[in-house]
Structure formats: C-alpha cells, structure tokens
Amino acid sequence: MFVRTATASTTAAALLGAGALLLPADLPEAPERQGQDAPVVVAHRGASGYAPENTLAAVDAADALGIAWVENDVHRTRDGVLVVLHDTDLKRTTDAEQVFPDRAPWAVKDFTAAELAKLDAGSWFGARFTGARVPTLTQFLHRMERNRQKLLLEIKSPATYPGIERDIIRVLGRSGWLDRSHVRSRLVIQSFGADSVKEVHSLRPDITTGFLGTPAVADLPSYAAFTDQINPSYATIGADYVAAVQRLKGPHGKRLRVNTWTVNKAADAVKARDYGVDGIITNFPDVVRDATS
C-alpha cells in the first residue's frame, strides 16, 4: 500500500510549510456513510504525503488537516517491542544501512528497540524531518490519544511474528485503548492475513476487524464470520463488488464496510465515492476530503 506522488494541496502547504503543526483542540467525529456523499477519510500511515510515513510527525500532520482516522503498520523487534513502520526491513525509510553497515538485510525482527531508536526515520523524506524516529506502538498510541484521533491498525507480516496479535492487544490495553469508547468508535485492527484477523476476533470479539484484500464474491460469506470490513485496493473494485460486500453482515450483526486504498487523486476519490465505499485510505487526506465532501 505504498504510493508517493508529487502533488500537494495548497491547504497542506499552508499548514505544514512553516514547519510548525497546528493542533486543533477538538476534532469532529468521522462521519458515517450518508448515501454516496461522505466516505470516511483515513490518513495512510499518517498524512504520509506531507510527512515521513508512520512517524509522529505524520500523525500530527493528519491532525493539523483535521483528519480523525489514521492508518499505521505494526512490527515486532528482536526483543519483543511493537514498533510502527511499513516495510519488513529498515532500508527504505531509515538510515539503518549507514548506522549498522554489517547488519544486512536490516530486517526489523533482527534489531532491538534500542537499536531502532538510534535511527533517523525522517531525512529520507525531507531535511526538516531529520531526526524523526521509528515510534513504538505505545508512543504512537499516546500521540493519537493526545490528538483525539482514531486508529486503523495493520498487522504487518503476521507469519513473521507468531503471537503478535496477543502482543498488540496487550499494548492496546495498557495504553487505555480497549475501554468501551475506544473499542466502539476509535479502533479497527486489519491485516492481509486472514488467520491473523481471525485470531484478533477470537481473542477480543468486541474489536472491529478488517481484512485487507479483495476476496471473490462467492467467498465473502466465509469472511463475514470473522471480519467487519473488507478493505480492498482501489484498482480491484467497482460498484458491483462494493454492493456485494455491503449486502452481508459481519460478526457484530452490522453490514460489512468497505475501505479502499490507496487513493491519492481527486478524480479517483470521486469514483471511489460513487462506487459506494465507506472509507478511503489516502496519503493526501485533504485532497480526498475536499473532492468527496
């Protein structure tokens, strides 16, 4: 789910160009779907079109744009700490190759949390983000709580990290994210791994879950037994597919929802809205919001 484009809105430039983020004291609740008018906008890895993905700066960039929902990606370090970044290795978004030149292939699972804390996770995106760090999941949750944001959490490569579902639930609980208000309206856990989604549903049936992918229509009823959302790539869907998903009810007795990714252009966002999707995941949340509202 990685897309970078050079397009940036005037609104974002005004908010972020000076380097200081404006943090509203209160954010509006993400809207429920109203016909085909207002899909929920989700900031992909934070507002990753404007700040280095999956960093606290990207969380704050989404907040500055008034975006309530943030998507992130979670891995586990060698010493069992949950951290937020997308790739299974550190090469693309950190300076791990320079700091640890003898540690190829620089897999996240081979490094301790203390070692990751030494890495620069911002300068690859822009000089003014030099020194941004790979956040732990706990740090990420605390920042989102400060901003009163909502989390679409993706479990990355679950087969690489046996038991990570239980670890994630433990950290969510310790950070205050498993109380009634968070579980009801501020938290979704998703993965490309169906077994991982099933495990989350088994451990905490009250948590809203999402499956990343585009299952065949004939297979959708089996997914509806354990997931509340089907979250497919934009390139794989049309109105008929969205309607087929939404005709089914998930494990909580509510119709399945569809959040599509990664939509960065206004014209594509309008098409996705007209397909009837419930949410749009994007690197440029202001662009999508302005196009679909």
Q: Which residues are catalytic?
A: 44, 86
- Please, is 57 exposed, middle or buried when counting C-beta atoms within 10 Å of its C-beta (0-12, 13-18, 19+)? buried
The gap between the terminal CA atoms of the chain, to the nearest Å, is: 24
**CB 41 within 8 Å of CB 289:** yes
Helices (H), 3-110: 10-16, 56-64, 96-99
Q: Residue for token digits 């490569």?
A: 157
Neighbours of 8 (CB within 10 A): 15
Q: Residue for token digits 């160009």?
A: 17
With H, G, I as helix, E, B as strand and everything else as coil, classify residue 32.
coil
**CB 145 within 8 Å of CB 124:** no
